[in-house]
Structure 1
Amino acid sequence: MAISKSVSEGLERRRASALEAGGKQKADDRHAKGRLTARERLDSLFSAGTFQEVGLHAQHATRHFGMEKKSLPGDGVVTGTGFIGGRPAAAFAQDFTVAGGTLGEIHARKICQTLDHALKAGIPVIGFNDSGGARIQEGVGALSAYGQVFYRNVQLSGVVPQISVIAGPCAGGAAYSPALTDFIIMTREHASLFICGPEVIRAVTGQATTMDEIGSADMHATVAGTIHFIAEDDAHAVAIVHRLLSFLPSNNMMDPPHRIEPELSLADDPELDELVPDDPKTPFDCRAVIERLADDGDFLEVSAGFAQNMVIGFGRIGGIVVGFVANQPMVKAGAIDIDASDKAARFVRFCNAFNVPLVNLVDVPGFLPGVHEERGGIIRHGAKLLFAYASATVPKLTVIMRKAYGGAYIAMCSQDMGADRIIAWPTAEIAVMGAEGAVNILYRKELAEADDRAARAAELAAEYREEFSSPYLSAGMLFVSDVLQPRETRAAIALTLRGLMSKRETRPPKKHGNIPL
């Protein structure tokens, strides 16, 4: 028996009403500002024709105060699944044209169902946050709904990649869901991320501030370190999602999307020899080294504006996806401080959770000295980096480019932290401290009596480097696997990674370790 015309037309009317969301005028207003609607964001995220919406006909709970006669299509959020680059993914996009995208019980239930599906299917989940916050009319129910979303964010953590896009306001408790995900992308314009706005801060503390100071993309990318990428607009945000996913597996049981060629190129790269200055005190940009090591120079830097003395990001070497962690001599001489510790430790833990090998590039003079660092807890924060490396069971390769001093070297994945292979360049210096500092301590009396203190100090420092910090000394004691010319490094790493693809390593049975947070 065929479906009657009236029934068919009824379905189409309901579907059209739901798809209209907040109406054409609100959609036009967004377009005038260069912004996309919720469905347009999802359409641009997924390959054409692959998005399957779930919950199109959802409506808010009418039992709440003042909500009986309101119509909220989809309850202010669009959810579903589709394909990105041939791989399935789940996503949701809050719809600001419907009740300001506020979160209520049904709204949250749709998001939770999306997260539950991502967990069961083992697929990444992407969320577009654009909301006025909790729906006041739904009271404590809305607060409970936020808790349900947070709980699921934690359950998914380390199981499937979670990516958040802040494409509008994200305030108060709503900010904690993105904060629980793996990567946050924020549009430079029209987006804000904060717990208490300027008015509340002024009322409670008397402090005058602006949204730029507390909730802008620039602030979160450079000062707070909350977000990982700044997008110029919605389209750019989607492009970053696509690029990020191109390096990530769908879940923790899969390998990343390696592009392994049958024949491995082992050619030298002479340009690497030219990157490191002759003077060990002259800084150089570690990104130049990364781009020579990465296939086709393709490197996706993460948190580029935050803790710039540490550089992290994704690339491929010989087709194998890797996570790079590198000291940046251009900033603070590459010393590790509180923020750099946090930045690198979290990235190492992400890579370990999702089977991404680690390549560590070392040029570190130590942990950053100073009263601010000590009082701020550099011991506690630096311990996070030690904990992250020691916990990681993925392949770990370390290249010592120049300075590798003291505990900071250990924190950059020395052999004792489980590095599978350590390569040192001839320019490497591996010691408890720098030659100058060691000489001043060991030869204090002799230097005080020297006719030319500076000349004698330089002479002793040269002797110290040769006898006590030479890479050949460490290689002779098997703390370093080999000493290679920079030009030989890429081929050596590619070959080592290929041989470590079958690495298996376990840790003692336990719920989890107690990382020094």
Structure 2
Amino acid sequence: MTALDERPTGTAPKSAPAPKSAPASAGMRERTAGLLRLRESVRGGPGERATQAQRARGKLTVYERLETLFDPGTFVEIEGLRRHRAGGFGLEDRRPHTDGVVTGWGRVHGRTVFAYAHDFRIFGGSLGESHAAKIHKIMDMAESAGAPLVSLNDGAGARIQEGVTALAGYGGIFRRNVRASGVIPQISVMLGPCAGGATYSPALTDFVFMVRGISQMFITGPDVVETVTGEKVTHEELGGADLHASVSGAAAFAYDDEESCIEDVRFLLSLLPANNRELPPGEQPAPGVDDLDERLLDLVPADPNQPYDMREVIRHLVDGGELMEVHEQWAANLLCVLARVDGNTVGIVANQPRHLAGVLDIEASQKGASFIQICDAFNIPLLTLVDVPGFLPGTSQEHGGIIRHGAKLLYAYCAATVPRVQVILRKAYGGAYIVMDSRSIGCDLSYAWPTNEIAVMGAEGAVNVIHRREVAASDDPETTRRILTQEYRDTLMHPYYAAERGLVDDVIDPRRTRAVVAEALRILRTKQERLVPRKHGNPPM
């Protein structure tokens, strides 16, 4: 071999012989193919028979649900090959992959969302030790990443064969629900049965969705109820979607099918921030925010006793008339709505004169308080539309705790630090006026229409209290009552009385309400409050 210094001038160096390319590993190819076959079998569930049984119940499979929830092709599954340990009573020879729950993350409208979804085809979606460990991990990841968590619930509760470890698994879920409360949005989607202690996880989350005919939630099932109380009741009557959406208030939304339900979950996520450190995502403002809306003059009657649909007023104030009403079927005398104004998410609380004249009662107070706390936790400004005659009178309300429950609504408003704007459309009487985010409890800007009447009570009631003897002694009681009523209204209830005393910032043209609200929210967007240091408050429970 010629040394480098002995090479003839101009002679190119000899290149080292190229190593022979190693043949592709047949073993690697076989194992990769085997992995792909295994993953395909995992997605198929325990077998075609179980899948057909799922479809016979009118339900999607777990992966179909996840594909509906997430943007196409974005779902990433973790621990899909996990199985329970060969323990438990009678489970030694049954160890399917996933252990009945699929966990992972993906994108919803381009933003990261974490999820876990029960697979009813495997052990009825029941929760065991490994099943719970997967859920614990994805919950921890969601909290750590600061991203929303969605649970698609379709499980039969604790796995009896695994005993106390299943119960401990639920305890770990509950603890994480509470730890993440107010930190990341938590959404529960009920797509099957949920009984016993398992119901407490949805109850601890921010929003609960249910589907008619396939979703049920109850602590004790129909058989136990009949044994203990003698009552005969079906699963739907005891804990179906409509029952929880209209009677118990445990469900915020109810739908006829899974697809429309999950689509609204996606819409809700588009209105919420990823976590409590961010503002909700904004959109391009809808055109015409400063235009006069003549239709508002016709929607609200000047007569304070004539009903109308406040929902229609809201549609004229929000972008595109598009809104998402929370607890639409429950406590219908108070509306709680998520929508956008000037491109930004806003939470709207409004009396509904079409139902019970818009009074506040026990259920309305609970509904409003919960909604306000969610909005405040996730930096969503509050708009309060007021047309309230007072609190609902009666022994059922007093005995049921209207003082305690009404205080929940008051506490939620007083504690809220987000931008708060109030608009008084018509009447605002007594303690209900104070509770509906009045200036005295901290709203940032208060506006009123020229039809507003703010007073301790209605003029007729006030005269009956103040001038009872004078009216009774009059030769013409009805005429005297009418004159005194008008005098009281002219003196203490005219539209500018509160504005003259600084309790209303301005009396506005109703046609400009959308523009006024949009400007107020724009100015308040950077609002900051300094709070007194404390571990936590002590709200009425």
TM-score for both structures, normalised by structure 1: 0.97
TM alignment of 1:10-29, pairs within 5 A: 10-29=34-53
Matched, 1:152 2:176: yes
Report the CA distance shift for 1:261/1:17 in structure 2 as closer, same or farther (over 3 A): closer
The answer to whether the Cα contact below 8 Å between 1:17 and 1:73 also exists between their aligned partners in 2 is no
Distance 2:364 2:151 in 1: 27
Distance 2:147 2:417 in 1: 22
Q: CA deviation at 1:64?
A: 1.7
Partner of 2:364: 340
Partner of 2:278: 254
The answer to whether the Cα contact below 8 Å between 2:54 and 2:61 also exists between their aligned partners in 1 is yes
Q: 2:310 aligns with which of 282, 286, 295?
A: 286
Q: CA deviation at 1:369?
A: 0.5
Q: CA deviation at 1:416?
A: 1.4
The answer to whether the Cα contact below 8 Å between 2:280 and 2:345 also exists between their aligned partners in 1 is yes
Partner of 2:245: 221
The answer to whether the Cα contact below 8 Å between 1:55 and 1:74 also exists between their aligned partners in 2 is yes
Q: Which structure 1 residue ranges, 5 or more long, are not aligned?
A: none
Distance 1:71 1:128 in 2: 22
Q: CA deviation at 1:261?
A: 4.2
Q: 1:271 aligns with which of 287, 295, 303?
A: 295
TM alignment of 1:192-231, pairs within 5 A: 192-231=216-255
Partner of 2:392: 368
Q: Render the CA deviation track for 1:194-230: whole Å, top value 9, x for unaligned.
A: 1111110111222333323221111101110000101
The answer to whether the Cα contact below 8 Å between 2:68 and 2:263 also exists between their aligned partners in 1 is no
Partner of 1:240: 264
Q: CA deviation at 1:320?
A: 1.9
Q: 1:55 aligns with which of 71, 79, 98?
A: 79
Runs of 4 or more, structure 1, over 4 Å off, are 260-264
Partner of 1:318: 342
Q: 1:309 aligns with which of 298, 311, 333?
A: 333
Matched, 1:425 2:454: no
Q: Which amino acid aligns with 1:503?
A: K
Distance 2:298 2:289 in 1: 21
Q: CA deviation at 1:278?
A: 2.6
SS at match of 2:515: helix
Compute the RMSD of aligned alpha carbons. Answer: 1.4
Q: CA deviation at 1:153?
A: 0.7
Q: CA deviation at 1:264?
A: 7.8
% identity of equivalent residues? 50
Q: Which amino acid aligns with 1:364?
A: V
The answer to whether the Cα contact below 8 Å between 1:124 and 1:161 also exists between their aligned partners in 2 is yes
Q: Which amino acid aligns with 1:127?
A: S
Distance 1:148 1:306 in 2: 31
SS at match of 2:231: coil
Q: Render the CA deviation track for 1:332-385: whole Å, top value 9, x for unaligned.
A: 111100000000000000000000000000011111111000010000000001
Higher Cα Rg, which structure: 2
Q: CA deviation at 1:10?
A: 3.2
Q: CA deviation at 1:33?
A: 4.1
TM alignment of 1:495-514, pairs within 5 A: 495-514=519-538
The answer to whether the Cα contact below 8 Å between 1:73 and 1:98 also exists between their aligned partners in 2 is no
Distance 1:229 1:297 in 2: 19
Matched, 1:164 2:188: yes
Partner of 2:31: 7
Q: Render the CA deviation track for 1:220-277: whole Å, top value 9, x for unaligned.
A: 0111000010121111111110111121111111111122549984222111111111
Distance 1:331 1:12 in 2: 58
The answer to whether the Cα contact below 8 Å between 2:285 and 2:319 also exists between their aligned partners in 1 is no
Distance 1:273 1:344 in 2: 27
TM alignment of 1:355-434, pairs within 5 A: 355-434=379-458
Q: Render the CA deviation track for 1:108-145: whole Å, top value 9, x for unaligned.
A: 11111111111011111111110111100110000000
Q: Which amino acid aligns with 1:348?
A: I
Partner of 1:124: 148
Q: 1:98 aligns with which of 114, 122, 133?
A: 122
Distance 1:469 1:141 in 2: 64
Distance 1:134 1:11 in 2: 31
Report the CA distance shift for 1:170/1:7 in structure 2 as closer, same or farther (over 3 A): same
Distance 1:15 1:319 in 2: 43
Report the CA distance shift for 1:305/1:16 in structure 2 as closer, same or farther (over 3 A): same
Q: Render the CA deviation track for 1:430-485: whole Å, top value 9, x for unaligned.
A: 11111111000011011112233233222222221111122311101100000012
Distance 1:283 1:87 in 2: 42
Q: CA deviation at 1:30?
A: 2.6
* Number of aligned residue pairs: 517
Distance 2:414 2:198 in 1: 34
Partner of 2:15: none
The answer to whether the Cα contact below 8 Å between 1:320 and 1:497 also exists between their aligned partners in 2 is no
SS at match of 1:213: helix
Distance 2:482 2:232 in 1: 53
Q: CA deviation at 1:61?
A: 2.1
Partner of 1:472: 496
Q: Render the CA deviation track for 1:266-316: whole Å, top value 9, x for unaligned.
A: 222111111111321111111011011111111111100000000001111
The answer to whether the Cα contact below 8 Å between 2:286 and 2:343 also exists between their aligned partners in 1 is no
Distance 1:267 1:13 in 2: 61
The answer to whether the Cα contact below 8 Å between 1:21 and 1:74 also exists between their aligned partners in 2 is no
Partner of 1:71: 95
Distance 1:221 1:167 in 2: 15
Q: CA deviation at 1:53?
A: 0.3
TM-score for both structures, normalised by structure 2: 0.93
SS at match of 1:404: strand
Q: CA deviation at 1:72?
A: 2.2
Report the CA distance shift for 1:79/1:427 in structure 2 as closer, same or farther (over 3 A): same
Deviates more, 1:157-166 or 1:467-476: 467-476
